[in-house]
């Protein structure tokens, strides 16, 4: 089942997107976010009861480059808040880079990530952060995989539209990382009680 919404959002103040996007059932909806200084990608997936992942939508928020930094992060906040309103996710996964070209870039990127976290917190959405290494390990199985490998796996796993933007693919990979963690947690919740249960005496 494919559900496509591949709009690319620019910093115009108005953010298009589906209204009250219907859930397919009792699945868990995850919003993945890939913060960036020039653009922020987002992607929404829904995890079904059988563990399968459905693609719900994605896009890129691109504030105008000539805007002041304060106005750019405002656009990111408003854009993500609108997507949270549209898709009503229960969880948000945010990529947390552990390096940058310089200290200034690291600080600015941290502020972009903080804006994404604030948008989720304001809406009461639970937040998880993952490093690029964790995302690559979860999606590809190799923490040093190239970005192209990650994006190809995202397209294969979610059957995304062919014109999927790079930043949106990265955000979907972050969402899949959280989904992978949830599946492991569910497995442990099933296995551990069995291991702790008293053995039958013969």
Among all residues, which ones are annotated catalytic?
34, 95, 167
Question: Whose CA is closest to 5, among 99, 22, 14, 69?
Answer: 22
Q: How far is CA 186 from CA 51, 112, 123, 179, in A?
A: 10, 32, 25, 11
H/E element, 127: strand 126-130
Q: What is the sign of the dihedral through the CA atoms of 179, 45, 114 and 37?
A: positive
DSSP assignments along 82-104, one per residue: HHHHHH--SEEEEE--S--SSHH
């Amino acid at each position: 089942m494919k559900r496509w919404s591949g709009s690319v959002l620019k910093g115009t103040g108005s953010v298009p997107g589906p209204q009250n996007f219907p859930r397919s059932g009792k699945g868990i909806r995850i919003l993945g976010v890939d913060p960036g200084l020039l653009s922020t990608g987002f992607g929404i997936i829904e995890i079904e009861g059988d563990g399968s992942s459905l693609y719900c939508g994605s896009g890129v928020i691109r504030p105008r480059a000539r805007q002041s930094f304060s106005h750019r992060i405002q656009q990111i906040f408003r854009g993500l808040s609108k997507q949270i309103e549209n898709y009503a996710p229960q969880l948000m996964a945010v990529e947390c880079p552990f390096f940058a070209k310089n200290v200034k870039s690291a600080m600015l990127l941290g502020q972009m990530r903080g804006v994404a976290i604030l948008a989720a917190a304001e809406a009461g959405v639970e937040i998880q952060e993952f490093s690029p290494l964790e995302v690559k390990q979860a999606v590809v199985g190799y923490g040093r995989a190239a970005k192209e490998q990650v994006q190809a796996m995202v397209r294969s796993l979610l059957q995304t539209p062919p014109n999927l933007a790079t930043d949106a693919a990265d955000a979907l990979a972050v969402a899949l990382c959280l989904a992978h963690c949830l599946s492991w947690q569910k497995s442990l919740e099933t296995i551990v009680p069995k291991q702790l249960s008293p053995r039958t005496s013969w």
